[in-house]
């Protein structure tokens, strides 16, 4: 069976209006702006309004991506929402987005791979279009991490923000589109980055709430070491699968977790900083939304041109990782 070339034909992003600065965090926990910027590169992050949920952010980003693709919501065959902060356990956030968009013929499901979720979603959607199963698929990364962040924990509250990024996938001309995917997981490291309360293992209770089991837990130094190792190696493996060289990369779009992790990936790929899309100073770590927000912003800033080789790469809880080579 001949596979169709598949690429991204429209992007969009949405971030909430409220900005939480490092200076504000100084009033909440024992930290300071210089410490945060030096260790993470983050200066501020966005926080969803009280009436906003993940589906609301996803809806706003999706509208922009659909318009950019030159199609309508009714043309969508499938909606995939990558998130670890769904509005509800069920129905899925993707079903809520489907209803908001009026995408009546689209199937819909959520995907949980933490910060790697958007790339997992792209791989899933790409294969469905390549085989002819679907024509247009909307992939969204959306998070309201402020709802699961402990703002008394100075190690995690400085990192996370809210937002959404979206991409519409469809057929593209020969020579364009996704050239490879590299996905991976290591469940033995699951406890290093997790939210343990509220599931079937530890149902919600007064005890689980009192012991803060419903907030993000992260073993920072262990996750950092994992990320430094996997970001570069996943990108290299995706390039190998695509039959391409590091020197052919025009733009690296990494998960926006920590500027030192991004710099280590650049060093391993022999790339200068100007060949990376870095916006974590404005948004912090937005988990599954960070790569699609960075991609949409790169497109907005005309940093992506036809024929450019893009490498998307991320890592997250699970532990998971994913990378993709895309010719625009």
Contacts of 174 (CB under 8 A, 6+ apart): 5
Q: Compute the distance between CA of residue 46 and CA of residue 55 in angstroms, rounded to an integer.
A: 16
- Told to judge if 309 belongs to the known catalytic residues of this protein, a careful annotator would answer no
DSSP-derived letter for residue 276 is B
Nearest to 79 by CA among 178, 177, 168: 168
Catalytic entry in 115, 144, 194, 309: 115
- 115 is known as an active-site residue: yes
- Please, which residues have CB within 8 angstroms of residue 207's CB and are 6 or more apart in sequence? none
d(CA 207, CA 203): 10
Does residue 114 contact residue 142 with C-beta atoms inside 8 Å? Answer: no
Q: Which of 144, 157, 258, 285 is catalytic?
A: 285
State the DSSP H helix or E strand holding residue 45, giving kind and residue range, or none if neither. Answer: strand 44-47
Residues whose CB is less than 8 angstroms from the CB of residue 132 and which lie 6 or more positions away in sequence, other chains included: 4
Give the Cα separation of 222 and 271 in Å (integer): 25
Place of tokens 């033995």: 188
| Residue 50 vs residues 56, 78, 296, 300: alpha-carbon distances, Å | 12, 29, 25, 28
Residue among 289, 325, 292 at smallest CA distance from 310: 325
Other Cβ atoms closer than 10 A to 221: 9
Q: Can you read off the two tokens belonging to residue 189?
A: 């490291």
**Given 22, 194, 255, 309, the catalytic residue:** 255
In the residue annotation, 255 being an active-site residue is answered as: yes
- Listed in order, strand segments (DSSP E) in 177-226 are 177-185, 193-194, 217-218
**Residues belonging to the active site:** 115, 255, 285
């Amino acid at each position: 069976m001949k596979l169709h070339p598949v690429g991204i034909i429209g992007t969009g992003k949405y971030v909430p209006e409220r900005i939480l600065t490092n200076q504000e965090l100084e009033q909440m926990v024992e930290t300071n702006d210089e410490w945060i910027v030096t260790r993470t590169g983050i200066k501020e992050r966005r926080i969803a309004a009280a009436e906003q949920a993940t589906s609301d952010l996803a809806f706003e980003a999706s509208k922009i991506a659909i318009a950019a693709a030159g199609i309508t919501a009714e043309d969508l065959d499938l909606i995939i929402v990558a998130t670890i902060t769904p509005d509800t356990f069920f129905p899925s956030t993707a079903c809520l987005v489907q209803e908001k968009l009026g995408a009546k013929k689209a199937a819909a499901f959520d995907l949980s791979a933490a910060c790697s979720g958007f790339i997992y979603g792209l791989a899933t959607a790409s294969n469905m279009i390549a085989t002819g199963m679907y024509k247009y698929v909307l992939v969204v990364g959306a998070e309201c991490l402020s709802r699961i962040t402990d703002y008394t924990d100075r190690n995690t509250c400085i990192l996370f923000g809210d937002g959404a990024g979206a991409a519409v996938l469809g057929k593209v001309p020969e020579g364009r589109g996704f050239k490879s995917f590299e996905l991976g997981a290591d469940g033995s490291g699951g406890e290093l980055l997790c939210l343990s309360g509220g599931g079937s293992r530890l149902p919600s209770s007064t005890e689980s709430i009192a012991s803060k089991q419903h907030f993000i837990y992260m073993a920072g130094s262990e996750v950092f070491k994992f990320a430094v190792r996997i970001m570069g190696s996943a990108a290299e493996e995706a390039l190998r699968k695509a039959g391409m060289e590091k020197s052919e990369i025009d733009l690296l779009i990494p998960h926006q977790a920590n500027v030192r992790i991004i710099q280590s990936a650049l060093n391993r790929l022999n790339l200068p900083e100007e060949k990376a899309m870095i916006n974590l100073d404005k948004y912090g770590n937005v988990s599954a939304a960070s790569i699609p927000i960075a991609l949409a912003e790169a497109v907005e800033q005309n940093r992506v041109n036809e024929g450019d080789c893009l490498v998307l790469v991320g890592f997250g809880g699970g532990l998971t990782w994913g990378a993709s080579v895309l010719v625009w």
